[in-house]
Amino acid sequence: MAAKALDKNTAWELVLDAVNRSNVTLSLPGSDKPALDIGQNGEWELRLPAELDARNLLSVFLPLCCPVAQGSRSRVVGQMGQSLDGRIATVTGASKFINGEDGITHLHRLRAVSEAVIVGAGTASTDNPRLTVRKTSGINPVRVVIDRNHRVPDSHHLFSDEASPTLRLVAGDYHAGDKLTPRHGVTDVPCLGQNDTTDPAHILAVLADFGLRKIFVEGGGLTVSEFLNADLLDRLHVMVAPMIIGSGRPAFSLPEIKKLDSALRPKAQMVDLGSDMLFDLDFTRSTVDE
DSSP string across 175-202:
--S--PPP-SSEEEEE-SBSSS---HHH
CA gap 134, 143 in Å, rounded = 14
Asked if the model's pLDDT at residue 1 lies above 50, the reply is no
pLDDT bucket at 286, cuts 50 / 70 / 90: low
Give percent above pLDDT 70 in the chain: 97
Q: Prior bond to 42 cis, omega within 30?
A: no
At residue 33, the pLDDT reads 86
Query: How many other β-carbons are positioned within 10 Å of the β-carbon of residue 105?
Result: 19
Asked if the model's pLDDT at residue 287 lies above 80, the reply is no
pLDDT, tens digit, 9 for 90 and up, residues 149-178: 999 999 999 999 999 999 999 999 999 999
At residue 41, the pLDDT reads 80
Handedness of CA 104, 108, 114, 115 (dihedral sign): positive
Q: What average pLDDT does the chain have?
A: 93
Look at strands 142-146 and 34-38 and give their pairing.
unpaired
Query: How many other β-carbons are positioned within 10 Å of the β-carbon of residue 150?
Result: 13
CA gap 122, 147 in Å, rounded = 9
